[in-house]
Structure 1
């Protein structure tokens, strides 16, 4: 138990980091390990999911991805996957996937840039590392509580079980919602830096809301903000993002990615 406590304290004290928005983070996993995991996941998806051979769709996505990633640097690979779901993702290690369903949904380059900027924002903020670090830290904390309390009664064991549930809904899931909101902010600024119109982010999420009509979990028990909350936050950030876009356009950054 003493060794477990020392290790737990070392991880907490040594895992402090700061996100691109200035938020304090608990991160103690090696980034190289997360990058390797991202590469493996991407290769598995390329093996198991059919990729799009549509030239126009690939050129459209390539144009947007290159404009966005040019602002952050590094080596990035993208693939358009044949999948009707409204989804895209970016993985540690510089891997981006875009589903054909999302390409079909968007009206223009700016709307797709909203999603790609958001997903790249997750990578820039090291959200995968933070989430994994939180989960490991939570499990270690529960193990430590079990070792200290050593519950013998049914009531005591139930309390330990509820501690795990409380960690899930009180720590891990709220941070996931925070990750989404933070990625929205980073992505909005990133697309504006590349010269895309940030106002189209609101239109995109309105379209996503209409396309996903149906039962949704209440926001408290969801890992994503509600569409309404997301749109309100984006609208509040628009004035600053528009200034960034104007500066980018004045510097010659005027993307022309044709769908």
Structure 2
């Protein structure tokens, strides 16, 4: 495998890892404490470019820090029994408030429906972390700085435009397939299922209240690609014992 191919594959691996989680530790530069690092827990959802979007209050300490100095980092790390041996990714960049609070709300609320109460509060806003540097630790001896162009997903404007229709169709007509994905690909028998998001790397399903991530082998760039990937997965599930 060529070096270029290796780097491209590593970037996709990092992006897929980040997509599997929706909570991280945000580190900003403290305004109150003269630039000391200030860490706080922060839920996030990726936008179509792979940048984390967070919903934060103007009253929060980290928001005051960001408004004074936008440089931040977000570490994405599973809550593993042995934290030092678990994979983790640190996304480093600059955070900026989205000008339109409603533009990202539909996608965010699909992942965090309990955040709906925050939208009635005038002091909550979305901030996007534009990723500039990426540090990936994938176990012993697998430590890399990953370039943003390697991490960035392919253009998916057509998929983004079709996402709501795809979700509506799957949730209205193919819940049995969603249950099959959970059963055969995640080993989990579930009752209540809902597809909440789809992107170039796969899709997310809320199954009995828990988010489950499903990766696909080939990038999805439009509605036709989504249909093909979902049909192929359903066929594999039907053929599995």
State which structure, 1 or 2, has the greater radius of gyration over its C-alpha atoms: 1
Structure 2 length-normalised TM: 0.23
Structure 1 length-normalised TM: 0.22
Instruction: Say which structure is richer in helix.
Output: 1
Q: Which has the higher contact order (CA 8 A, sep 6+)?
A: 1
